[in-house]
Chain A
Amino acid sequence: MSDIARLTDDFRDGALVQGVIDEIRRTVTRPWVMMEICGGQTHSILQSGLDQLLPPEIELVHGPGCPVCVTSLELIDRALAIAQQPGVIFCSFGDMLRVPGSLGDLFSIRAAGGQVKVVYSPLDAVRIAQQNPDKQVVFFAIGFETTAPANAASVLQAQALGLKNYSVLVSQVCVPPAMHAILSSPQRRVQGFLAAGHVCTVMGYWEYKPIAQQYHIPIVVTGFEPLDLVQGILMTVQQLEKGSREVQNAYPRLVTEEGNRAAQAIIHRVFEPCDRNWRGIGMIPMSGWGLRPELSDFDAEQRFEVAGIQTQESPLCMAGQVLQGLKKPSECPAFGTLCTPQNPLGAPMVSSEGACAAYFRYHRPD
């Protein structure tokens, strides 16, 4: 077995995971509600069945950390309009293709003859632009802080190559403003946060200290393997039980307090903070990143004229409440009946990080 496989296996060791769950059971004395911010963690928790192994006092609610889910409907509709234009190759992460816009999705554009390509990396989209000088190549640059360095690197790469046929449709969002929004809601239930380990790999966790102080809430940087998740939950429960409200790091093999400075420098060369509209949640001030003005040549919103977007959400979908941890997917009347991964009403039912997709796939509640 390779070293890397052994290291990963250690963090999936069933006996160790059970040992930490036993420790959580010994520590907890009363009910606590905690939120895992990242949808990747939601899927990992449900896939491994951790939600069913934890003591009943621990309630996990699922956060907004699903970039596909929070990309605004207006931007999705804009993406669909650009992807329909002749001479455009529209590149996207695969997760986005089934996300419903007001009048269809990227799959339906492809079925109607539009050139929509799934890429694994934004740098693949730059390569497509190099190989197709007679086409306009647009990349749908969505994501949280984790994806920002890759998206930014693609713009820097296109600039270095002198490409005039590459642009990005940007929907970059940031975690800390969303935490503020969740914590300042009058309906707030969350008492502790499992912070998203890969967002913190890039950004560090220094930004979370004022949040923990202001809202008097423990925040524990948490990874993605089952052992990482139960360790993050244990540290959160320990803090809640003894009344401490600090930022702790349960993912030190990747995360430092300051984060990866080189990755942050790449982000800041390309992006600057801006207001963003989060689908289902609404506008959160300074909660995203947009292209810096000197890079506006790479801005697909400016390159492609799209007029008359009139967004229309499904009246049944309650994705916004799910994304803020206010409702569980299974509480939605449309869940699994009118809304399924084959016929989604909202983005969380199709994304590999969407809570509704996780509940559907792993049969919650049983």
Chain B
Amino acid sequence: MCLGVPGKITEIYEQNGLLMGKIDFGGVLREACLSAIPDAQVGEYTLVHAGFALNRISEEEAQITLETLREIIDLNEELSPEDE
């Protein structure tokens, strides 16, 4: 239940006093409440849980994580080729 689904914000609007948005989950559009990311912009990525956007997803941080892990792996392959 604590799972979240990543998606892209395609529209932002207000409804009954709540900040809401349309989120594109890889082709499927659904509505989510954006109250916890009040300065969200169309085109940004977010993680939605139970119809509620928990936070933005930082693409920059995602790339840093991936690069760090690739570096660890590359370094080890160089240092210990017998593993391969």
- B22 → chain A, closest Cβ, in Å? 14
**Smallest Cβ distance from B51 to chain A, in angstroms?**
3
| B80-A121 in contact (CB<8A) | no
Is A16 an interface residue, CB under 8 A from the partner? yes
Q: Is the interface of B mostly helix, strand, loop or mixed?
A: mixed
Q: A202 to chain B: which residues have CB within 8 Å?
A: 36, 54-55
Residues of B within 8 A of A26 (CB): 76, 80
Q: Does more than half of chain A's interface fall in helix, strand or loop, or is it mixed?
A: helix
Q: Name A68's closest neighbour in chain B (CB-CB).
A: B1
A241: Cβ under 8 A from any B Cβ: no
Separation of A147 and B2 alpha carbons in the complex (Å): 7
- Does A122 interact with chain B (Cβ within 8 Å)? yes
Q: Which of B5-27 contact A (CB under 8 A)?
A: 6-8, 16-18, 24-27
Chain A min CB distance to B40 (Å): 10
In the assembly, what is the distance between CA of A2 and CA of B33, in Å?
Answer: 22
Task: State the interface size on chain A (CB cutoff 8 A).
Answer: 59
Judge whether B2 and A254 touch: CB under 8 Å. no
Residues of B within 8 A of A253 (CB): 57-59, 61-62, 65
Q: How far is the CA of A124 from the CA of B66 in the complex (A)?
A: 37
Q: Is A201 an interface residue (CB 8 A)?
A: yes
Q: Are B54 and A20 in contact (CB under 8 A)?
A: no
B2 touches A121 (CB 8 A): no
A residues lining the B interface (CB < 8 Å) = 2-5, 7-8, 10-11, 16, 19-20, 22-23, 26, 38-40, 65-68, 93, 95, 120-124, 143-144, 146-147, 149-151, 153, 157, 160-161, 196, 198-199, 201-202, 224, 227, 231, 250, 252-255, 260, 262-263, 266, 351-353
Q: List 5 A-B contacts (CB under 8 A).
A: A2-B8, A4-B6, A26-B76, A199-B2, A263-B55
The 9 closest A-B pairs by CB, nearest first: A121-B51, A19-B73, A150-B52, A263-B36, A253-B61, A253-B62, A150-B50, A252-B61, A146-B2
Question: Residues on B close to A: CB < 8 A?
Answer: 1-4, 6-8, 16-18, 24-27, 33, 35-38, 45, 47, 49-52, 54-55, 57-59, 61-62, 64-66, 69-70, 72-73, 76-77, 80, 83
Beyond A16-B73, A353-B2, 12 additional contacts (C-beta under 8 Å) are A2-B27, A4-B6, A19-B73, A20-B73, A93-B1, A120-B51, A123-B18, A150-B50, A199-B2, A253-B58, A351-B1, A352-B1
